[in-house]
Amino acid sequence: MRYLPHSSADRRTMLASIGVFLIDDLFADIPEEVAAAFRPLGLPPKSEQEVVAALTDLSARNAAVEKTCFIGGGIYDHYAPSLVDHVLSRSEFYTAYTPYQPEVSQGTLTAMFEFQTLISELTGMDVANGSLYDGATAAAEAVLMADRIRSRGRVAIARTLFANARRVLETYGWASGTEVVELPMLASGRTDLTDVPDDVSAVLLQSPNALGVIEDLAGVKERIGDALLIVSINPISLGVLAPPGDFDADIVVGEGQPLGLSMAYGGPLLGLFATRAEHLRQMPGRVSGRTVDAEGKTGYTMAAQTREQHIRRERATSNICTNSALCALAATVYLATVGAEGLRHVAELNLEKAHYLADRIAEIEGFDLPFSGPFFNEFVIRPSEDATAVQRRLLDAGFLVEAPEGLRSFGVENGLRIAVTERRTRAELDRFADVLGGAR
C-alpha cells in the first residue's frame, strides 16, 4: 500500500485535538541549536511522481550497479541465494518486533535460536546472542564486557582493526572511562604481541584483519596472561580457517553482512557475538532458549536478557537496545541453504580467486604486495605510481576499488586494498590485472 498523506484539514483537526496550532509546536522542547542542525535535512513538498523520479535518479548514481566491485573493508559483494530474500519477504518476519510474548512469537524465537546455534557452531563457542547492530558495536560491547569481568579499565586492541570498528570502540571507551591501548603491527601485517601490557582486561585481534592478513592465534591466549581474548572474524573465512574457539578465545565477534546480506549503502548490518558459557550473564543482547511446555511440547522463549535496561537502568550490563533480527534471519537462511560443505566451497573460492589475482598483480612491473602474511580474500597492493591515479583508471575501466585514503590510518601510504569474492569471474580478474599492467 502506498503512503497517502493527510490533507491540510486533517492536520488542523489532529493538532486542535491535542491543543496546539502548528506542527512546530510539537517540537518546542528541542533546543534551538539542536533543531537548527536538522532543519536542512527536510524535503520540500513534492508529488509522489516527482519523489519517485528523484529517487530513481539518485539510485542510478550507485556505481556498484554497473561496475565490478573489488571494495571490501568489512562489507563484501557476496552472492546470496534467492531463498534468503524469499523468506525475508514474508510479512510474519519483516513486521515482527521484540518477542516479549513467546505465545505469539514462536516463529521469531525459533529463528533466533537457530541463528544462535549456527553462530556458536561456526565460531566454536558455547553460546551466542540473538545478534547486535553490526560488527563495530559488537566489538565495542565485547570490550566493555571484558572490562566488566576483569575490571582493569584498560584494553589492548590491534592496530589492524577495521577503522569504523576502531572509531566506535574509542567512543565507547571514552564514554565508559576505558583506556584503549594500541598494539603495533609487524612488517608481515600481523599484530606484534611481544609487549602486551599485563594490566589489560582484554586483547582484541581481528582475523583476517583490515589488511586482509590472517592472524596467528596459536598460543596467543597463553601469551596474554589472564586477559580475555576477543577475536573479530569474517564469518565466510571460517569455512576454511579453524574457529577462534579452538584457540581458547573468550569472546568472538564479527560483521555478519557476508552471510546473505547485500552491500546496500553500508547497512543494515549484523553484529555477531559469541562467548563462553561462564560469561553468559555478562553478554549483551538477548538469548532465545528451547524448552517444553506443560504438555511436553517443544517451545521457545526468551532465556536471557542481560541488558535489562528497561528494568535495571544504569545497573544494566548493556544498554544496547535491540538486535538485528531480520538480518540474523538472513544469515540463518543463508547458512542453512549452503550448509557446511557449501560454506567451505564459498570460502575456498574466495581464497583461491584472491590469491590468483594477487599472483597476477605481483608479476606486473611497478606493483608489489607490501605484506607477507597469509591472507584470505583481501589484500593490499602498492603501485610505484600514484595510487589515486591507478584507482581512477580502474574506475574508468569499470572496476570499483576503495580510495587509498582508507589505508592511511594503518600507516600504508600509496596503497590500494583489493577484495575478491566468489562472484568475481576469471575473466574479470584477468581484465583487472591487464588494466593494472597497462596503467603503468
pLDDT digits (tens, 9 = 90+) for 359-409: 999 999 999 999 999 999 999 999 999 999 999 999 999 999 999 999 998
pLDDT digits (tens, 9 = 90+) for 170-227: 999 999 999 999 999 999 999 999 999 999 999 999 999 999 999 999 999 999 999 9
Q: DSSP readout, 147-188?
A: HHHH--SEEEEETTS-HHHHHHHHHHHHHHT-EEEEEPB-TT
Q: pTM for the full model? A: 0.87
What are the φ/ψ torsions at residue 437 (nearest 5 degrees)? -65, -35
- Whether 65-79+339-438 and 82-335 share one fold: the answer is no
What fold, for 65-79+339-438?
Answer: Aspartate Aminotransferase, domain 1 (3.90.1150)
Confidence of residue 6 (pLDDT cuts 50, 70, 90): confident
User: Of the CATH numbers 3.30.70.1400, 3.40.50.20, 3.30.70.890, 3.40.640.10, which one belongs to the domain with range 82-335?
Assistant: 3.40.640.10
Pairing of strands 271-275, 228-233: unpaired
- Fill in the DSSP letter of residue 264: B
Question: Range with the lowest mean pLDDT among 18-27, 304-313, 327-336?
Answer: 304-313
Q: Does residue 429 contact residue 357 with C-beta atoms inside 8 Å?
A: yes
pLDDT at 96: 74
Closest among 287, 318, 322 to 305, alpha carbons compared: 287
For the chain, which residues make up each domain, given as ranges? Answer: 11-42, 65-79+339-438, 82-335
